[in-house]
A and B are shown apart, each in its own frame.
Chain A
Amino acid sequence: MDDTKFKGMKPSRRQFLTGAAAVGTASVAATVAKAQGAPDPLITDIGQQPWSQYLGPGVDVAPYGMPIKFENHVRRTSVEWLTADTVSSINFTPLHELDGIITPNGLCFERHHGGAAEIAPADYRLMINGLVNRELVFTLEDLMRFPRENHVYFLECAANTGMEWAGAQLNGCQFTHGMIHNVMYTGIPLKLLLAEAGLQDSGKWLLAEGADASGMTRSIPIEKALDDCLVAFKMNGEMLRQEQGYPVRLVVPGWEGNMWVKWLRRLEIGDEPWHHREETSKYTDLLEDGQARRFTWEMDAKSVITNPSPQAPITHGPGYTVLTGVAWSGRGTIPRVDVTLDGGKNWHQARMSGPSMAKSMHRFYFEFEWDGRPLLLQSRAHDSTGYVQPTKAQLREWRGDNSIYHNNGIQTWYVNEQGEAENVEIS
């Protein structure tokens, strides 16, 4: 899709504020039928139901299908002012349009530092070198012959919600929380590849390196490498998308997305961390005293209400209302999420639905009778270690405003009498 068309699809600011963005043709028609009290021509008039009279497309029209055109607005979107150019940049998963816990591959947010490399499967090589008994080279075909595992994990950018450290900035959970996706990865336990090379006792750190022009490198402690890391080639059943590291990426469950090196070309074993650019200049968290944390790997428990939200206002008026959202933790599962309708005066335990897997997204719902009065919505995740998602104010007490990364503070949406939602902070 060309850029002009793409821009035309994006909801305008006026639409955000009037709630018009989420109203499709069908729901407008239904509302009209109800209001006039007359028979609904979408039921009584065959002329208005061509799909019931004429034949639809046959089976070979789309060998690889795309969503129906009415869902064209469900797409990744970027925020131009965040970065200097679109190559070393970020875009956002449309969380407000999704349900369940699996992110469709084509909607998984992208973060590149040198653009998305295009590597043909036959050109792919993976090297293991350093403190190993045998330095090895694998082809993709070699990798496909190792025993595989399947796991569902979230991948959250360390900078997700980073723009919100300074206060409420971006109006929509896609923008405030959409640097995340959650898919089923198929891959080789990293420990099997390291065993093949023969890890030496002095090997304490692993350097993962990408084949793209940014030469992405991160140092990973060997304990994590031997625990649950995967060298993955499939996501949601199909080969990785180009923008997600085709043909091979590293999966580092629960840890910041930057470490999930894409287009993985080399694994080096060493006895010390390398302190490369992405773990010194970047992905270090500046605190108020001018000192910075390094190696802040785990992503703490976090949640966000995806509906209602600024891009997904309440359009049906007062009455029975479905509130839903997602929660996740880099340290385990999410047994519980609390929600509040009144800005934290009173909390209710939400209903969890769907599989609960460690270091994966969880889906929650809270159904309630909306009386049409303004709402201050928040969600609060509890993870299986007993950690409770903090408020933004609590986080700022520990870290100040300039740590950029790891903002897992509680998000507030203000919903007015018309059902329009806004990103706010509250006392």
Chain B
Amino acid sequence: LAGISFGLGRDALPEEVAAWDIDIRPDGVGLPAGSGDVWTGEEVFIEKCSVCHGDFGEAVGRWPVLAGGWDSLTHEDPVKTIGSYWPYLSTVWDYVYRAMPYGEAQSLTPDEVYAITAYLLYVNNLVDDDFELSDENFAEVDLPNEGGFYLDDRAEGEIPAFSAEPCMENCKDSVEITMRATVLDVTPDDEEATVTEAAA
């Protein structure tokens, strides 16, 4: 396809690329210059984030929990937070800067996002209260679960296991019902569903 051109579109100006290309990567590529400390982060967080996420990232109601859940990933009900589950700090910075606060995205300055990110590290017991995060030291911070992910391996195990010709006749002697949705009764109907437990 090299060399194919329809002569459509125009060159993007540097200011335009800078305005939209705000993403950052785990190695810190894309981070703007700036810094913020835990105490500043606490102030900003209480003002702009805690109404949904709680004063300490513990969450209000059904809103996402941002801190805690350490070592819960093998439990029956894992609590997946920045501290317990997320692999990279860059994702925190990138997501807060591009999409938070919910309903008023892209209203935070880079320094505010550094400060909030420092505060989120603090409430996850990952830094002391005098910590200051900046573009200079950003890449030095590792999250606990960085090694907790591996590439999709369905092709090595599941797919071969599920690719055998299946049984068609007399496949089992008996069949028992082991679980029924009507027992749980959480399907919406005229009466509002009252279950508070979250599936996802």
Contact = CB atoms under 8 A, between A and B. Distances in A.
Interface of A: 7, 10-14, 16-17, 77-85, 88, 113-114, 127-130, 134-138, 142-143, 145-146, 159, 162-163, 166-172, 175, 191-192, 194-199, 207, 209, 213-215, 217, 226, 265-266, 268, 270, 272, 274-277, 280-281, 284, 286, 288-298, 300, 310, 338, 342-347, 376, 380, 385-390, 394, 398, 401-402, 404, 414, 422-427
A275 B25 contact: yes
Interface string B82-124: 1001111011001100110011011000000000000000000
B168 interface: yes
Q: Which of B98, B99, B181, B197 has the most CB of A within 10 A?
A: B181
Given A136-B9, A136-B11, A81 B175 contact: no
Rank and list the top 6 A-B pairs by shortest CB-CB distance, nearest first.
Answer: A343-B175, A215-B98, A84-B62, A423-B181, A290-B73, A195-B1
A17 B170 CA distance: 31
Which applies to chain B's interface (DSSP): helix, strand, loop or mixed?
loop
B4 interface: yes
Interface in B155-200: 157-159, 161-182, 184-200
B23 A169 contact: no
19 contacts: A10-B190, A79-B187, A82-B200, A143-B8, A159-B200, A168-B180, A192-B6, A196-B4, A199-B1, A214-B105, A215-B98, A215-B106, A272-B25, A281-B82, A293-B150, A338-B168, A347-B171, A394-B161, A423-B181
A425 B152 contact: no
B16 interface: yes
B48 interface: no
A411 B154 CA distance: 21
A226 B169 CA distance: 44
A189 B14 CA distance: 26
B157 to A, nearest CB: 7
Nearest to A147: B6
Contacts of B151: 293-295
B196 A171 contact: no
A389 B161 CA distance: 11
A278 B61 CA distance: 22
Q: Which of A113, A343, A389 has the most CB of B within 10 A?
A: A343
A129 B17 contact: yes
B90 A146 contact: no
Interface string B50-74: 0000000000011110000000011
Given A82-B200, A142-B9, A275-B88, A169 B188 contact: no
Contact of A169 (B78, B162, B173, B181): B181
A424 B78 contact: no
A276 B149 contact: no
B23 A294 contact: no
A357 B130 CA distance: 60
B157 A398 contact: yes
Nearest to B73: A290
Given A136-B10, A195-B5, A268-B21, A345 B172 contact: yes
Contacts of B90: 275
A332 to B, nearest CB: 12
Contacts of B174: 427
Nearest to B158: A398
A80 B163 CA distance: 37
Given A142-B8, A195-B4, A425 B25 contact: no
B188 A10 contact: yes
Nearest to A402: B78
Nearest to B168: A347
Contacts of A292: 73, 85, 148-150
A275 B103 CA distance: 23
A17 B182 contact: yes
Contacts of A390: 158, 162
A388 B162 contact: yes
Contacts of A274: 23-25, 94
A281 B21 contact: no
B12 interface: yes
Contacts of B80: 281, 286
B91 A394 contact: no
A137 B171 CA distance: 59
A81 B149 contact: no
Contacts of B94: 217, 274, 276-277
